[in-house]
Amino acid sequence: MLQPLQRLSFFLFILLVSSVQAQPPGKAAAQTARLTTDLLNVPGGNSATVPSEVRGLDKLTRFQMRGDRIAIEAVAAPGWDANSLLQALQGLGLTDGRAYNQLVFGYIPINQLNILKTIPALRFVRPAYKPVHSAGRVTSQGDKAQKSDLARQRYGLTGTRSKIGILSDSYDARGGAAAGVASGDLPATVQVLEEYREPDASDEGRAMAEIVHDVAQGAAIAFNTAFTGQAGFAQGIRNLAAAGCNIIVDDVSYFAEPFFQDGVIAQAVDDVVTNNNVTYFSSAGNSGRSSYQSTYRNGGQLTHPTYGLLGNAHNFGGGDIYQRITIPAGGQVIIGFQWDDPFASVSGGAGARTDMDLLVYYNGMLIPFLSAANANIGGDPVEITGYANTSNAPISIDLVLVKYEGPDPGLIKWINFGSTVDVEYDTQSSTTFGHSNASRAIAVAAARYTNTPAFNSSLTTALVEDFSSAGGTPTLFTTTGARINGITGITRRKPELTGPNGGNNTFFGDDFEGDGFPNFFGTSASAPHVAAVAALLQERAGNSLAPSSVLSLLEETALDMDDPLTPGFDVGFDYRTGYGFVQADQAIQAIATGQPLALVQPLFNCQTGALTYQTTGGDGSRIEYQGIGITDWNPNPNQFLDAPVLADQNSKTVLLKARQSGREVTYLFDFRAYCQGSNGNQPPVLAIPIENQFAQRGTYFAYQFPANTFSDPNNDVLTYTATGLLDGLTFDAANRRISGTPTQAGTFPVTIVATDAGNLSAQAMFTLTVAPNGNTRPLALIAPLYDCGTGAITFRTVEGDGTPVTYFAIGIARTTPADASGIVEAELRADPKPIVIQATQSGTTVSYTFDLPGACGATNGNFRLVEPAYNCATGIFTFQVVNVAPGKTVEYYSVPGITGWSTNPTHPFNEDLRTAGDVKPFTLRARYVGEPASEVTLEWVRPAPCSAGARLAAADVTLQVIVLENPTASEFVEFNVTGVQGPSLQLRVLDSRGALISDQYVKTNDSTSRQRVSVGHSPGIYLLYVGTDMQQKTVKIIRQ
């Protein structure tokens, strides 16, 4: 739906009592009564009603009434909790009450409003304005637009084993659900936890359920109303999670949700995603870019001939304090105005420090009852007003944003939740806010189904709806009210995705294309389309996907779209369409194999050096590629082998690397043998991945992998080995057969290696899951699988009750707590220490201490590479190793630029690479001759060229970054920066996969400053980049 929740407060006349600013009687009376000014004027309350119309403008009120009762949101006073406040309000007749954090919702008798001020537990009360949606035998055309119909047909999916929770106004208050079941547009059973049965109920939740059932017919559906205030909405989210919903979607927004802080609903979203493994989707909103955002500029005092001094007005530009807004005939404006103070209803504490008013002028006159002027200090920094043009012609009004009292705010912002209007000084800023902007919510934008390639063959991508809300609203405060980086804060990437809207349903909306069925528009319709695709993904993956994996699959396979209001085509993410239009079939195809990522032989042009990385398996998320002499980590698989390497006849092989979701794999590519054609030996190729296998402890198991699993370009006879088999199983290499009786339960990664006569090989990986028998034994961790060269590690457990296992280990980068595979960080590999691994199942945690030094044959004197000797003037390079075992001969390798395998440690460094300004890391390798398993590596960064002198080095040494707490258990990290040379700093945080967490610029007036960044909620390894135009420093941060 296209109209969001409104809230209206009235500016009461200001009485001029002296030449200085007087306390407005309306503010004073409301403050004494602990009410907002519009509650002060509710009929039957403390004051007479104000006029309802002024020259073609009607005020808009969205009070929720039940006879002589009005819905309110009450905020607990400092030192009191919401439950105590709820009990006190119930003593005054409050009904349908619910408490959550600082908030209480319920219906209070109007004649009791003037008594509320006597409650010690009460801080203030505002109306609980009626919230709104994002809506703007039947099957939605969106099913075809996002290709979920193809995904179901191709893979036979229905979303079974998922349960999708829906939050909207009502499900069956109007009746009609039975007819939907009879026509097959709804499942036979929908679990309704709480219904909304007021006369204005629209049953939009049932329209959303029809969309979900169109896309994922096998998924169960539950419903909970979101129309019980913010407190009830937040509790409804948790109730759906407790009812077993692994996917939740909503289409409701509350105007009183904070713009710049995570409110109670946003916190509930983050909670169920983190603690209940729920994938949460929310409509991005339908306000387009109808928003004004600016730093506050003091435009001087504003006075009125009758009311006196009104405050200090904001300067919109050139000294103009009036912002003209033109409302079309029949249009309406609903403006929510906020500024950068924390919400008392969220953080408790002191609340807002500044009192701002939103004043409305019409035909040159101040219109108090259309203005919004609550007493905000100590409360929430929000003012909301709304009005409709009931005339037959456009009407223009002027907004004035006034600071009545307190310090100047830093950032001010209003969002128009009404219809399209013409705005002077239009910044076209972000309009996604509240829980849709929560860090763990997936906000969904909208594209009309007729404007997608599936329905319009002239289009190469989908076109976003004009009304679809834009992201980019900064988060400036923590939930405790602490400020985050001034007025810059953290800007989250919202929306994440775009889904279809405008499709058919059986009852909701208007029939715009004339086919006899109404059409459901808005991000209210796009969000359930995408949520239902998540159910198909879960079914294909065996319901094993974490919320982050669902999001990655949808993002990586989305059809890139463009924000039409920005210049050029926005490649990748943009704040209007996210990562693009959901392609369900592509997302499901990305996980169709269910196999681990593996590198196979690349495509290679022996003349040009063009090389294309080739992979199999993987989880469908982004893959990055690396290879010395080819590229640093890069998502583009199409690269070139450096010309000097290709021309050097002593260079034969390159080590290719790929990483995905924290897991790194390698492939040693012998390009010389490849280029010899049929006369040269080429490595075997994995032709068909091996499917994952299942067994039961104590029961005989046998599996023979197919003979065509591997192929060999030279038709060589292949020999096979198997690693990772648990006790009780053996491998018959001649017959490619694994058999035996498993003695342990658990999940075991198994690797099959096929090797030809020339000792070239390929590998296939699969997972053997052994279920426990009836006599369940306690979960236990056993030695992990570990690759000493790459740092790839896979945790292993045995026994247990068969329920999901989560893991924790410091110094190992992984995607999610449930991911058993990861990468041991390079510094820990260089200076190995024992690692404590923890596994948790059904509330029980077990530990295992992994002897990392011993795993690779290391002792206190382990064989390893150390910093090489290098003369930048002559280019002479000498490998350096320590602790060489007696009687062993060492050979060395580093391509490009140094040498292929050679027992000589000293070589001239390639001149082109020696003098290049682009300093890249080189992988140095060493091993004992004839013992490939003894190989050790060292990542070495070549110093700056001699001609560049100390310029680069000095800049790096001068800039210092000292993290105050590292490791840290906090979402936020503080650090001191010294030696800054420049007017600003770039602060960038990336996760272990290189994904951007935040990126911001801060001004610096001194060479030393203290800064603060967020690393998010998830434990793991993060990289903090601090830089100026001439300096840079990167620091690793461990989030526990």
| pLDDT per position as a tens digit, 228-278 | 999 999 999 999 999 999 999 999 999 989 999 999 999 999 999 999 999
Distances (CA, A) of 986 to 343, 493, 574, 800, 1015: 29, 18, 21, 48, 15
Q: How confident is the model at residue 949 (pLDDT cuts 50, 70, 90)?
A: very low
Check residues 91 and 591 and name the one with the higher pLDDT: 91
Q: What average pLDDT does range 404-413 have in this prediction?
A: 95
- Mean pLDDT for all residues in the chain: 83
What tokens appear for 21 in the block?
A: 């600013």
Q: Give the SS3 label for residue 899.
A: strand
Residue type, 252: V
pLDDT for residue 842 is more than 80: no
Q: Which of 224-228, 792-796, 947-951, 982-986 is predicted least confidently? A: 947-951
**Percent of residues, the chain, with pLDDT higher than 70:** 87
Q: How confident is the model at residue 140 (pLDDT cuts 50, 70, 90)?
A: low
pLDDT for residue 113 is more than 50: yes
pLDDT value at residue 4 = 32
User: Do residues 898 and 940 touch, judged by C-beta distance below 8 A?
Assistant: no
pLDDT value at residue 176 = 86
Q: What average pLDDT does range 596-617 have in this prediction?
A: 82
pLDDT value at residue 438 = 96
Q: What average pLDDT does range 751-755 have in this prediction?
A: 90
Rounded (10°) CA dihedral 605, 606, 609, 611: 40
Nearest to 666 by CA among 592, 621, 613: 613
pLDDT value at residue 1004 = 75
Highest mean pLDDT among 328-342, 511-525, 889-903, 933-947 belongs to 328-342
Backbone angles phi, psi at 596, to 5 degrees: -65, 155
pLDDT in tens, 77-100: 998 989 999 999 999 999 999 998
18-31 burial string, b = 16+ CB within 10 Å, else e? eeebeebebbebbb
| Residue for token pair 């801080």 | 123
pLDDT value at residue 861 = 60
pLDDT value at residue 932 = 75
Q: Which of 224-233, 423-432, 1009-1018 is predicted least confidently? A: 1009-1018
pLDDT for residue 680 is more than 70: no
Q: Which helix (H) or strand (E) holds 1015?
A: none
pLDDT for residue 312 is more than 70: yes
**∠ CA 399-400-406 to the nearest 5 degrees?**
145
- For residue 999, the cross-strand partners are 988
pLDDT value at residue 230 = 94
pLDDT value at residue 136 = 43
Distance (Å, whole) CA 763 – CA 828:
27
Q: How confident is the model at residue 507 (pLDDT cuts 50, 70, 90)?
A: confident
Q: Which of 234-243, 611-620, 905-914 is predicted least confidently? A: 905-914
> Within 10 A of 364 (CB to CB), how many other CB atoms are there?
7
DSSP state of 510: B
Q: Give the SS3 label for residue 806.
A: strand
User: Do residues 926 and 948 touch, judged by C-beta distance below 8 A?
Assistant: no
Check residues 35 and 783 and name the one with the higher pLDDT: 35
Residue-by-residue DSSP string for 904-934 = --EEEPPHHHHH-SS--EEEEEEEETTEEEE
Q: What average pLDDT does range 894-917 have in this prediction?
A: 67
Which residues, at least 6 apart from 607, have a Cβ–Cβ distance to it below 8 Å? none
User: Do residues 10 and 368 touch, judged by C-beta distance below 8 A?
Assistant: yes
> Within 10 A of 526 (CB to CB), how many other CB atoms are there?
39
User: Do residues 281 and 249 touch, judged by C-beta distance below 8 A?
Assistant: yes
The domains of the chain, with CATH numbers, are 25-132 (3.30.70), 291-429 (2.60.120.380), 598-656 (no CATH), 681-771 (2.60.40.10), 864-948 (2.60.40), 951-1039 (2.60.40.1930)
Q: Which of 60-74, 142-156, 185-199, 217-231 is predicted least confidently? A: 142-156
Which residues, at least 6 apart from 457, have a Cβ–Cβ distance to it below 8 Å? none
pLDDT for residue 860 is more than 50: no
How many residues make up the chain in this entry?
Answer: 1040
pLDDT value at residue 657 = 93
Distances (CA, A) of 368 to 28, 38, 312, 689, 984: 15, 12, 17, 72, 44
Q: Which of 25-34, 187-196, 523-532, 991-1000 is predicted least confidently? A: 991-1000
Q: Which of 566-575, 710-719, 937-946 is predicted least confidently? A: 937-946
Q: What average pLDDT does range 279-294 have in this prediction?
A: 95
DSSP E strand stretches across 571-634: 598-604, 610-616, 624-627, 631-634
Distance (Å, whole) CA 421 – CA 467:
12
Distances (CA, A) of 313 to 317, 319, 362, 377, 379: 12, 10, 17, 18, 21
